[in-house]
Each structure stands twice: as C-alpha cells, then as structure tokens.
Amino acid sequence: MSDNQRPQDHFGRRAKKENYPARSVYKLQEIDNKVKLLRPGMTVLDLGAAPGSWSIYVADKVTSKGTVVAIDNASMKVQLPAYVTVIKQSALDIVPAELLKQINKKGFDAVISDMAPHTSGHKFVDQSRSFNLFMRAIELSEEMLNLGGNFVGKIFVGEDFETARAHMRSIFKTVKIVKPKSVRSESFETYLVGLSKK
C-alpha cells in the first residue's frame, strides 16, 4: 500500500496544511537537517520527483540562484519556479551527456532519489525492483555528480541492501543509513546517504 492509499497521519495532515502534495517532504527535511544537504546556489537532480513535494522543498532551499531538475515518468502535480526543469521520463532512459547539455551544467552538486516501484505485495519482488531503481540512481550519480557532491536514495531493505551500501562506500567518503521518523514504522524503506563523492 502506498502512502497515498493509507489513512492520513500527523505527517499527512501537516503536508496538506503546508500545501505539499505528499508527506514524503518530511523525510527529505529530516535528512537535510541531519546532514546539511542543500544550500542556496546548488544544482540538484531530483529522481522520482512526482507529485512534487521534494522538488518544492529543494527549490526553496537552493533558491533562484540554484537549478533543480525534477524527473519522473509520472506527472508532477505542482507549480514550480522557473529554475526547476521538469522532465517526464523514466530514470532508466536518461542520457547523462544530453541532460547536462540541456541545462548547460557540467554536473550536479546533489542527486536525490525517492524513486519507488509500484508495490506488488510480494516483498522480494518489490525489494528487487527498489534495488534496481536505487542502483540506477547511483549509476547516474557516478556519471553526473560533481566531486564532493552528495547523494540520497530510497531503498527497500532486503537481501541486496548490503550490496548497495558496499557499492556506495566505493563512491563516497561517508555513507549513512537514515530512516526518518516520518517513514511509517511498518515500512521496510530506508535512505542511504552518500556524502562527498570521491
């Protein structure tokens, strides 16, 4: 069951009140508060961006001095400022050189991925799909994240989790596991945070 299908909790009500289309914004906010991910002027790639809560949050943090690229194969549900480029596309189809040319940048300062598969109800199937999306986000970071850049990616914890974490350790100086308070206690999703790309 996705967040949207469950009864509204404290975070859901708060998101509605604060005009965010999804409660997931508080997951990114908590990670950002912990690791100081976002600053004015940064260039950020937001993968799995729809309906748009993370993109609103990131746009506020990087300000109009920054650039945000929001990519999802689903449609965004929010209005975003002009310095946010919205692309309706699967992350699997991104061609890094073309994307960087389109936004006239040499790389990103941060890549964040909240990508999640449509859940099937079969734990192992969902974990394996989540792992594949996570590894795609990492692959894109290897190609487009600037040296010293940071990464946040959602992953469903399963048997591939340690493989993902080990791979991240080969790319980033520091790797942390963060399970924000707003992740529902019964959920097996968590976030891997990579700080300072080597």
Q: Using the rule CB under 6 A, is 115 a contact of ligand SAM? A: yes
User: Closest Cα partner for 152 from 42, 64, 78, 16?
Assistant: 42
Q: Which of 66, 69, 72, 150 binds ligand SAM (CB under 6 A)?
A: 72
Minimum CB separation of residue 101 from ligand SAM in Å reads 20
Query: Are the C-beta atoms of 183 and 27 separated by less than 8 Å?
Result: yes
Q: Which of 105, 154, 173, 198 is the catalytic position?
A: 154
123 is catalytic: no
Q: How far apart are CA 115 and CA 74, in angstroms?
A: 11
Burial 111-124 (b: 16+ CB within 10 A, else e): bbbbbbbeeeeeee
Query: Are the C-beta atoms of 31 and 152 separated by less than 8 Å?
Result: yes
Q: How far apart are CA 58 and CA 38, in angstroms?
A: 7
Minimum CB separation of residue 115 from ligand SAM in Å reads 4
Minimum CB separation of residue 144 from ligand SAM in Å reads 15
| Residues facing residue 172 across a β-bridge | 197
User: Closest Cα partner for 115 from 137, 99, 100?
Assistant: 137
Q: Using the rule CB under 6 A, is 180 a contact of ligand SAM? A: no
Minimum CB separation of residue 29 from ligand SAM in Å reads 10
- Looking up tokens 């509204």 gives 8
118-147 binders of ligand SAM (CB under 6 A)? 133
Comparing CB distances to ligand SAM, the nearer of 100 and 152 is: 152
Q: Which of 51, 66, 153, 180 binds ligand SAM (CB under 6 A)?
A: 51
Q: How far apart are the first and last CA of the chain?
A: 37
Comparing CB distances to ligand SAM, the nearer of 116 and 145 is: 116
Q: Which of 31, 84, 116, 164 binds ligand SAM (CB under 6 A)?
A: 116
Residues assigned a catalytic role: 154
Q: Which residues would be at the binding site for ligand SAM (CB under 6 A)? A: 21-22, 24-25, 47-54, 71-74, 90-92, 114-116, 133
